[in-house]
Amino acid sequence: MSYMMVGTYGPFSSSLDDRAMTCFKEATAHFDNVQYTPVAVATQVVSGTNYAFFCDAKESDSQTLYSAMITIFKPLDGVAGIMDIEKLSD
């Protein structure tokens, strides 16, 4: 049996389910200059769901890959939106 502390993110998983991928695509659909590829996700249930996506990222004018963390909030009713994007490495 596993226990999760209320209000915290669960562990990261490299298994991205349909709900997580739909949320990611909805929130990042307008990006043209950076391509983000989700590698793992952790979730936090609130009045909706917070998603923390660990991603590989590549700018359109460069072949250099770097890591990024994208935090997305998906309300119970409504559209997913990006809360934060953090570049983790070069």
pTM of the model: 0.87
pLDDT values of the chain reduced to their tens digit, one per residue, 90 residues: 455 555 788 999 999 999 999 999 999 999 888 999 999 999 998 889 999 999 999 998 888 899 999 999 999 999 999 999 999 976
Tokens representing 45? Answer: 């249930």
**Rounded distance between C-alpha atoms, residue 78 and residue 33, angstroms:** 25
How far apart (Å, rounded) are the C-alpha atoms in residues 47 and 77?
10
